[in-house]
């Protein structure tokens, strides 16, 4: 399973209506995080779970769902976490 698929699997706990992941790792080749195996990703996720939550709380939910991946497979993650109304 590749990293993006593993991310989708873990993010399923947030009952997302949409998940878009862009692997931007190739643009960061040679970067310290890339050398250690961690990739650079852009995530757009839509979920009712984000309703009534500030952006930081939404990002925390995403980080919690991804768990240990944030320390190994993922070096950098840009997050756009939206409610269905915002999407």
Write the CATH number for 25. 3.30.300.90
Residue 48 lies in a domain: yes
Residue 87 lies in a domain: no
Provide the whole-model pTM: 0.88
Residue 70 lies in a domain: yes
- CA-wise closest residue to 76 among 24, 8, 7, 26: 24
pLDDT tier, 69 (very low <50, low <70, confident <90, very high otherwise): very high
β-sheet bridge partners, residue 39: 74
Residue 42 lies in a domain: yes
What total of structural domains would you count in the chain? 1
Q: What's the domain range around 46?
A: 3-82
CA distance 3 to 7: 6
pLDDT at 28: 58
Average of pLDDT values for 51-64? Answer: 98
Residue 59 lies in a domain: yes
Give the pLDDT confidence of 2-43 residue by residue, as tens digits.
999 999 999 999 999 999 999 988 765 665 555 566 788 999
Residue 54 lies in a domain: yes
pLDDT at 38: 76
Residue 40 lies in a domain: yes
Residue 50 lies in a domain: yes
In sequence order, which residues have a C-beta less than 8 Å from that of residue 80 and are 6 or more positions away?
42, 43, 44, 45
pLDDT at 22: 96
């Amino acid at each position: 399973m590749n990293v993006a698929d593993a991310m989708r699997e873990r993010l399923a706990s947030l009952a997302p209506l949409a998940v878009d992941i862009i692997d931007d790792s190739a643009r960061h080749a040679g970067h310290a995080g890339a050398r250690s195996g961690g990739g650079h990703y852009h995530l757009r996720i839509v979920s009712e779970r984000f309703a009534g939550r500030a952006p930081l709380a939404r990002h925390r939910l995403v980080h919690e769902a991804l768990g240990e991946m944030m320390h190994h497979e993922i070096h950098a993650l840009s997050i756009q976490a939206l409610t269905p109304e915002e999407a």
